[in-house]
Amino acid sequence: MSYTKNLIQEIIAKTPGESEFHQAMAEVYGALAPVVDDNPRYQEAAILQRMAIPERAIVFRVPWLDDKNHVQVNTAYRVQFNSAIGPYKGGIRFHPSVNLSILKFLGFEQTFKNALTGLPIGGGKGGADFDPKGKSDGEVMRFCQSLMTELYKYLGPDEDIPAGDIGVGAREVGYMYGQYKRIVGRYEGVFTGKGITYGGSLGRTEATGHGLLYLMDNILKGKNDGFDGKKVSISGSGNVAFYAAKKTVELGGRPIAMSDSGGFIHDPDGIDLSAINEIKFVQRARISEYIKYRPNAKYTVGTGMWNIPCDIALPCATQNELHEADAKALVANGCKAVGEGANMPCTAAAVDVFHENGVIFAPGKAANAGGVAVSCLEMSQNSMRLHWTFEEVDQKLKGIMGGIYEKMNTAATEYKMDGNFVAGANIAGFKKVAEAMLAQGVV
């Protein structure tokens, strides 16, 4: 068995029950065989073994009082995965499914994603099994304050800088940042995704969705194509999905399907994004409400949105939401390109189907890196005490996404896997982190 295959088996055996982490690790390490063969130093310095273990993982309880004065308790985590190229950077997720395996997969992915941006940030991720849905503002605030009362010890502007993720938007970031500042007594850029009035960057809210479209546009232009006139299916209706849909329209495409965890809508004439904004961000309601705004649209309970014929699919909800059968349905209906707005939304078998059928496939660690890239720009502005315009930030984001495309394309070509952006992104991200680890000795 080859060195990387053997190692993947060893790591799986040593981390039982961590299926999401195994999936992410096997995807990255599975692409590295030719790189490791070319560079015996990586084996000698046990770089892959060291990279697979977080530098530190903190698990702690978060007790809080609900509106009825009942005591509630949740489990929270911060996985500080790799600081070889910069301080730990990665979001915080609030969702009932959160566990150590999911956060290890996200922190591991984040390390390579951050490396791909070309910016000096390491990888980390955090979260809690807390569900903000149905909670009052007061309950969300008390939960965030209790969480930060423990987490602040491990954070710092040059140490670990969290951001939002699923279930953590501007409201939650504000509450967590407020508590951090109150405890440490310093006004410092320890969180990104902050509100514009207290150190946030213009363009951060839009960055992941816009970045996804910039990357896909770069890929399509490389094939003399573009978004103009394309039918686009976008799963989710949160931060990433919404701004991906907006930029799709700006680039001439037509979003025709969106979803939430309850079901999906199909509006062949093009989704009315002002209605989505009202339902999801103002009312915090379910996407099923959409048919009240557009009676010709159809709402379906549950899964199945990938059966709708489209030209481009952008899964932007959560991990493992697009399975092999969905991939086959997309291929059969003529889908030409898939870009992962979410982290690992496509199963490994689904990705194989895309590759086998010549569908362009952009993996999340490249395609959704726009969010963390603009987070890093927010950190720069905080350090410099500056506030850039939306246009300045957007220009930089475009440049960074163009750079990511070049890096993954070049790495894929160098290792004779032309057009395989999974391999290209994994190799380019890995090499940057590996070289930094080698230079820093056995630490």
Residue numbers at the binding site for ligand NDP (CB under 6 A) = 164-167, 208, 236-241, 259-262, 316-318, 321, 341-343, 368, 371
Nearest approach, Cβ of 301 to ligand NDP (angstroms)? 12
Closest residue by beta carbon to ligand NDP? 238
3-class DSSP state of 280:
helix
Nearest approach, Cβ of 237 to ligand NDP (angstroms)? 4
Nearest approach, Cβ of 431 to ligand NDP (angstroms)? 22
Cα–Cα nearest to 110, from 86, 129, 91, 96: 91
The smaller minimum CB distance to ligand NDP, of residues 218 and 319, is found at: 319
The smaller minimum CB distance to ligand NDP, of residues 50 and 294, is found at: 294
336 is a catalytic site residue: no
Contact by Cβ (8 Å): 300, 324: no
The smaller minimum CB distance to ligand NDP, of residues 42 and 191, is found at: 191
Sheet holding 231-235, edge to edge: 298-301, 263-266, 254-260, 231-235, 312-315, 337-339, 360-362
Secondary structure element (H or E) that encloses residue 273, with its range = helix 273-276
DSSP 419: T
Q: Is the dihedral of CA 226, 230, 231, 237 positive or negative?
A: positive
CB atoms within 10 A of CB 407: 22
Pairing assessment for the beta strands 71-82 and 122-128 based on DSSP bridges: antiparallel
Integer-rounded Cα radius of gyration of the chain:
21
Quick one: 187 exposed, middle or buried, by C-beta within 10 A (0-12, 13-18, 19+)?
exposed
**Set 125, 230, 280, 365: catalytic member:** 125
Q: How far is CA 89 from the centre of its chain?
A: 12
Nearest approach, Cβ of 166 to ligand NDP (angstroms)? 4
Nearest approach, Cβ of 261 to ligand NDP (angstroms)? 3
3-state helix, strand, coil in the chain (%, to 5): 50, 15, 35
Q: What's the CA gap between 127 and 250, in Å, rounded?
A: 33
Q: Provide CB contacts within 8 A for 3, sequence distance 6+.
A: 33, 36, 43
Phi, psi at 265, each rounded to 5°? -115, 150
The smaller minimum CB distance to ligand NDP, of residues 355 and 365, is found at: 365
Nearest approach, Cβ of 238 to ligand NDP (angstroms)? 2
The smaller minimum CB distance to ligand NDP, of residues 348 and 438, is found at: 348
Nearest approach, Cβ of 38 to ligand NDP (angstroms)? 31
Quick one: 16 exposed, middle or buried, by C-beta within 10 A (0-12, 13-18, 19+)?
exposed
Question: In angstroms, what CA-CA distances link 320 with 24, 364, 369?
Answer: 11, 12, 18
Q: Is the dihedral of CA 84, 88, 94, 96 positive or negative?
A: positive
The smaller minimum CB distance to ligand NDP, of residues 189 and 341, is found at: 341
The smaller minimum CB distance to ligand NDP, of residues 8 and 236, is found at: 236
The smaller minimum CB distance to ligand NDP, of residues 36 and 260, is found at: 260
Nearest approach, Cβ of 401 to ligand NDP (angstroms)? 13
User: Active-site residues: which are they?
Assistant: 125
